[in-house]
Amino acid sequence: MLMFVFSPFLLISDCFRKKKRVNNEVVFAFSLMLTLAMLFTATCIWVSQSQNKKAFALIGNFAATQEQLGENLAFSQDISYYALKYNIDPLLVYALIDQESKFDRFAVSDQNAKGLMQLTPSTWQEMNPNGVCDATHDRYQCHETECVFCPGANIAAGTRYLSQLVERFDGEVGFALEAYNAGSATVDTSRDEHIYPETRSFTRNIAQKLKTLRQNRVLDLINLAVDARQALKWAGGVTLALWSILLAWLIKKL
């Protein structure tokens, strides 16, 4: 066991000796460590990608490319963070984003709502009163970090806005979603009597999506994918370091 643990250090020290001093047992132990590191790295990649694909297929945004997979995990971390910060069910945020933009960060509606959570310029400015971006531009005209088209900033503002609506309507998520879609003034005056048909469809679709996500434990799948992605950074670094040691030793001794 000790030989297994210290085999990388033994190979490193052997690189500075003129003659080969390590025996075959050390080389075997090091090779075993490298193999295990590679297997663990491959497992992290598989778990991260497979669980992420499964989760977002259920959400409605099946990612076919590696770039989209990476974006989905980045969205997941932002959603988890801001949902916790503003006391909102993260699955509700997933369902809302899917309904609003299908996870297209550059989506723009006919009403000029923009980004993942489809925020109008007035709502964006209300949530970011001191921001440089005013959300009146298209996707090519702003390069600010806190832009309406920036996923993290859009999710932060949208989740905060949703949280305020839930609080305004005394925890009634249905009314909050109606206000998110049709405007709080409309819901204030009509409550449940004269809501637009498209708004009813909007809230009904989100409710159905939310039920599906909960039944399939999508949040667990996403958390597993995120954890595997974090472990991959460590495992990949260890594997790269071990390969570097092996190559240096081979060049020096063979």
Provide long-range contacts, Cβ within 8 A and 24+ apart, for 240-243: 241/8, 242/8, 242/30, 242/33, 242/34, 242/37, 243/34
- Quote the tokens at residue 104: 């297209």
- Catalytic residue (one of 25, 67, 100, 146): 100
* Whole-model pTM over 0.85: no
100 catalytic? Reply is yes
- Quote the tokens at residue 25: 């047992």
DSSP-based three-state secondary structure for 108: strand
CATH architecture for the domain at 2-253: Orthogonal Bundle (1.10)
Residue with tokens 């990476």: 70
User: Please, is 108 exposed, middle or buried when counting C-beta atoms within 10 Å of its C-beta (0-12, 13-18, 19+)?
Assistant: middle
- Quote the tokens at residue 18: 């003129």
Helices 90-101, 173-182: inter-axial angle, 10-degree rounding: 30
Domain regions of the chain by residue span: 2-253
Confidence check: pLDDT of 236 > 80 = yes
> Range with the lowest mean pLDDT among 34-38, 155-159, 182-186?
182-186
| Each residue's pLDDT tens digit, 202-221 | 899 999 989 988 888 888 88
| Each residue's pLDDT tens digit, 161-170 | 999 999 988 8
Mean pLDDT score of the chain, rounded to an integer? Answer: 85
For residues 150 and 17, what is the distance between their CA atoms, to the nearest angstrom?
54
| Each residue's pLDDT tens digit, 35-91 | 999 999 999 999 988 888 888 778 775 544 555 656 677 788 899 999 999 999 999
